Amino acid sequence: MSANAIWYVSPKKGSNVKVLVCKDYDILSRRAAALVASVVADDPKATLGLATGSSPVGMYQNLIKLYEDGILDFSKIKTINLDEYYPLDPSNDQSYHYFMNDNLFDHINIDKNNVHVPDGNAADINKAAEEYEKLINDNNGTDIQVLGIGQNGHIGFNEPADTFVGPTHVVELTESTIKANSRFFDKIEDVPTKAISMGIAGIMKAKKVLLVANGENKADAIAKTLEGPITPHVPASILQLHPDVTFIIDEAAASKLQEYRPE
């Protein structure tokens, strides 16, 4: 084990979540890329569930590097992204579709016909959600689902609520999410107030889950997710029930964990 990343385990009965605490964002990004790379290398036709946001950007850069170095081949890889703002045209530079092209797809040999991002511009958004759910199910879920986490514990755009929502659905974004995401827009009024998101069922169907988080502003959400009760008020807490989930986080994001012990 290297000193710049340490595995932690939960003493909580029944929790399978493995946590790798990395010294910094650079190490985190490399370790996360290595996990995704192992899935691509094991199955060149794998389906990757992907996330946007700032957390996985470094991981995507490392995956691009592995492609450029001739180590990874994405030509037969399929992707299914978590979410998209609604309404927003995919060509808008704030759309998640644009983000994925810019941060990954335009730099690797992926076939764009195999890339799937929810349609934030659909005339009938509920129908688009149904079709996206069918895509996930026809594919039998993803081989690995990459997740970031919101400061309020959201995964995808599954916001805190009284119940978990299973299928892909249209979401009313919370104030906390709109505020957090306004950093990418000129002004807060420009942030769309709705989104279309894969639901909890689609996420939990993944064979493996990888959650990446960095920074002190994620420490509360990480502690509640891993050490608190499983509740729809902290949507990521459902991951305690997934059989193969790895959190790769930095020291700041791990700073409020009480129960996790070095392996």
Catalytic residue numbers, as ranges: 83, 152, 154, 159
Number of residues that bind ligand F6R (CB under 6 A): 15
Residue 190 region, left (φ>0) first, then alpha (ψ -120 to 50), else beta? alpha
Give the number of C-alpha atoms closer than 13 A to the C-alpha of residue 6, restricted to the C-beta side. 10
Residue (9 or 178) nearer to ligand F6R, CB: 178
Burial code (b: 16+ CB inside 10 Å, e: under 16) for 166-176 equals ebbbbbebbee
Tokens of 188: 């807060």
Spatial strand order in the sheet of 83-86: 83-86, 194-197, 169-172
Contact (Cβ atoms closer than 8 angstroms) between residue 171 and residue 157:
yes
Shortest distance, position 154 Cβ to ligand F6R, whole Å = 5
Among 62, 83, 202, 210, binds ligand F6R (CB under 6 A): 83
Q: Which of 221, 210, 206, 208 is nearest to 253 (CA)?
A: 221
Shortest distance, position 73 Cβ to ligand F6R, whole Å = 25
Contacts made by residues 172-180, CB under 8 angstroms, sequence distance 24+: 176/150, 176/151, 176/152, 177/150, 177/152, 180/150, 180/151
Shortest distance, position 3 Cβ to ligand F6R, whole Å = 26
Shortest distance, position 144 Cβ to ligand F6R, whole Å = 15
Residue (13 or 183) nearer to ligand F6R, CB: 183
Residue (156 or 199) nearer to ligand F6R, CB: 156
Per-residue binding letters, 137-176, with ligand F6R (x by CB under 6 A)? -----------xxx---xxxx-------------------
Site residues (CB under 6 A) for ligand F6R, limited to 30-69: 51-55
Residue (9 or 135) nearer to ligand F6R, CB: 135
The residue ranges that bind ligand F6R (CB under 6 A) are: 51-55, 82-83, 96, 148-150, 154-157
